[in-house]
Amino acid sequence: MSRRSGILEFAVLGLLRESPMHGYELRKRLNTSLGVFRAFSYGTLYPCLKALVANGWLVEESGSAPEDARAASLAGRRAKIVYRLTAEGKEHFEELLAHTGPDTWEDEHFAARFAFFGQTSRDVRMRVLEGRRSRLEERLEKMRASLARTRERLDDYTLELQRHGMESVEREVRWLNELIESERAGRDKRTGPDQ
């Protein structure tokens, strides 16, 4: 399974955990709620859905009342298929949600993971946030070292682009620091001296 399809699987399971949906509705939610999927098509979504059904993590159900399905078939249209998470699918999503390996810190996967932080335990959120911050701090050091080596060979526009990239990473590191401190403060409130 490719990294992108793994992210899509995670996001689909997470959205369907909230409620059953048909493909169009699911694609719309992926695009609007989880911006990391802006550029994917039905040609990507439906094979993922079929694989999730084949694994027993989703079931397909007719999305129409029986008379609506009959009217749709008479009109030559297919009834909408609604996808619903199975008990095994919920369990699989819980396993994915608990995973905190290095892939959860990467750009695309981090955004999808962050979208489901409300369903994620505090200790997992902390590991993902700290891992992401560490990964970005490494990236920032490499960017600074590269800029120091090549500064005199770059034109003004390329230098400006490099500076912009570094500022973006620095801004995300500051944001992560704030989130981590907020998580720690929340933990401290719950585990204070009176508990």
Across the range 37-52, mean pLDDT stands at: 82
* Mean pLDDT, the chain, whole residue set: 85
Confidence of residue 176 (pLDDT cuts 50, 70, 90): very high
Rounded to whole angstroms, the Cα distance separating 192 from 32 reads: 39
Residue whose token pair is 């699987």: 9
Q: What is the DSSP string of 67-98?
A: HHHHHHHHTT-PPPEEEEE-HHHHHHHHHHHH
Secondary structure element (H or E) that encloses residue 156, with its range:
helix 156-190
pLDDT of residue 192: 45
Residue 81, burial from CB neighbour count under 10 angstroms (0-12, 13-18, 19+) = middle
Q: Which residue has the higher pLDDT, 43 or 117?
A: 117
Nearest one of 59, 40, 56 to 2, comparing CA atoms: 40
- Taking the complete model, does pTM exceed 0.85, yes or no? no
- pLDDT surpassing 90 at residue 59: yes
Percent of the chain with pLDDT over 90: 59
Task: Extract the tokens encoding 122.
Answer: 């505090």
Across the range 39-47, mean pLDDT stands at: 79
Percent of the chain with pLDDT over 70: 82
pLDDT in tens, 67-106: 554 545 555 566 789 999 999 999 999 999 999 989 898 8
pLDDT of residue 82: 96
Query: By three-state DSSP, how is residue 134 classified?
Result: helix
Rounded to whole angstroms, the Cα distance separating 5 from 181 reads: 32
Q: Which residue has the higher pLDDT, 107 or 89?
A: 89
pLDDT of residue 76: 57
Q: Which residue has the higher pLDDT, 181 or 74?
A: 181
pLDDT in tens, 108-149: 789 889 999 999 999 999 999 999 999 999 999 999 999 998
Rounded to whole angstroms, the Cα distance separating 126 from 179 reads: 9
The values of phi and psi at residue 58, to 5°, are -130, 160
pLDDT of residue 62: 87
Contacts of 101 by beta carbon, 8 Å cutoff, 6+ apart: none
